[in-house]
């Protein structure tokens, strides 16, 4: 239990967005994907997820970890078109209508609320992504459902302390998800592996160095000096403790930073690629599309598409 408390205490939680959405037409997105973690509360209607089309009942929550591709169906199965995540981002207003009336939350047929957030260990490692969790269902958790509604309600209003309360509620959401996982003994092996982050401070040094130097030289030679291990061993050492080789981890961090810059700045794609360590813009764009399934330019337009 002490290791889990350390994990929770170390988590840096950041709210990304929250909305109450009403389905306009049924559809299936074959490869739903987002950098942020998404917690979806189904008010009324139908949601199915995964290749086996597991049912989300009304009042249940679907948790989709950031960085995890998942098949999701909104509305009755077999009645809507099948689309890609790229199609959803580009034409989101065709599939969802955003409700901005507090009194109507949960009233519309085929409606749900969601909260998107990030949760990082030592502000460096995406916690849920590091566990390599699939999307999963959370049932009989009224407290978590109420927290989702509180975040959505606060986000709809312009009241004093809005950001403070949203931040507090989002942190509670993360704690409740971790508690749910522990209580139901879900993903035990992944959690046990994750706790190794706290058993070797050299790994934390590596996480922090990578975070602060995404645009610089992050070769195994450089990392070996940071961790004070041999260049030949540093890759094996990193993978032994995290389950991923360092260069794959570095690319994910660089791309995640690129997404943040695309969403929050007006810097050119060339500038962003260079800032996160890619001197060749064309190569950066190829790797970006390979990882996220859409071009960097469309990711930039994502926020306006999301704010329907």
Say whether pLDDT at 293 is over 60: yes
Please answer whether residues 126 and 66 qualify as being in contact, where contact means their C-beta atoms are separated by less than 8 angstroms.
Answer: yes
Same domain, 185 and 233: no
pLDDT tens digits for range 95-132: 999 999 999 999 999 999 999 999 987 777 778 887 77
Residues near 270 by Cβ (< 8 Å), separated by ≥ 6?
Answer: 281
The total of structural domains in the chain comes to 2
For residue 193, name the pLDDT band (cuts at 50, 70, 90). low
pLDDT at 9: 80
Tell me whether residue 298 is exposed, middle or buried, using C-beta atoms within 10 angstroms of its C-beta: 0 to 12, 13 to 18, 19 or more: middle
pLDDT at 304: 46
- Percentage of the chain exceeding pLDDT 90: 61
Q: Which pTM does this prediction carry? A: 0.78
Same domain, 133 and 10: yes
Element (H, E) at 306: helix 296-306
CA distance 91 to 89: 6
Hunting for tokens 């190829």 — which residue is that?
A: 286
Give the domain extent around 22.
Answer: 1-191
pLDDT at 126: 79
Same domain, 167 and 289: no
Write down which residue in 141, 166, 191 finishes a domain.
191
Tokens in use for 69? Answer: 């591709």
* 64: β partners: 38
CA distance 52 to 33: 18
CA distance 180 to 165: 22
The CATH number for 81's domain is: 2.60.120
Please answer whether residues 221 and 138 qualify as being in contact, where contact means their C-beta atoms are separated by less than 8 angstroms.
Answer: no
The CATH number for 223's domain is: 1.10.10.60
Residue 149 lies in a domain: yes
């Amino acid at each position: 239990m002490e290791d889990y408390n350390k994990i929770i205490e170390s988590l840096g939680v950041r709210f990304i967005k929250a909305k109450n959405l009403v389905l306009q037409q049924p559809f299936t997105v074959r490869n739903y994907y987002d950098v942020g973690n998404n917690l979806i509360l189904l008010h009324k209607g139908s949601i199915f997820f995964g290749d086996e089309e597991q049912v989300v009942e009304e009042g249940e929550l679907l948790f989709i970890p950031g960085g995890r591709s998942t098949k999701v169906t909104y509305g009755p199965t077999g009645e809507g078109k099948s689309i890609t995540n790229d199609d959803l981002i580009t034409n989101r207003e065709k599939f969802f209508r955003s409700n901005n009336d507090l009194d109507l939350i949960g009233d519309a047929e085929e409606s749900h609320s969601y909260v998107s957030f990030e949760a990082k260990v030592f502000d460096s490692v995406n916690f849920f992504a590091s566990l390599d969790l699939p999307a999963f269902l959370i049932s009989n958790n009224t407290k978590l459902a109420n927290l989702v509604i509180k975040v959505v309600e606060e986000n709809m209003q312009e009241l004093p302390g809005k950001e403070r309360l949203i931040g507090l509620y989002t942190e509670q959401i993360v704690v409740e998800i971790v508690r749910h996982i522990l209580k139901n003994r879900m993903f035990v092996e992944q959690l046990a592996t994750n706790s190794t982050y706290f058993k070797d401070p050299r790994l934390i040094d590596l996480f922090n160095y990578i975070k602060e130097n995404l645009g610089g030289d992050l070769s195994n030679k450089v990392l070996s000096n940071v961790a004070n291990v041999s260049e030949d061993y540093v890759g094996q050492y990193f993978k032994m403790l995290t389950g991923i080789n360092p260069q794959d981890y570095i690319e994910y961090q660089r791309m995640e930073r690129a997404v943040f810059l695309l969403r929050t700045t007006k810097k050119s794609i060339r500038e962003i690629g260079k800032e996160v360590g890619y001197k060749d813009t064309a190569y950066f764009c190829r790797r970006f599309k390979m990882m996220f399934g859409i071009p960097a330019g469309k990711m930039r337009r994502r926020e306006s598409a999301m704010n329907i």
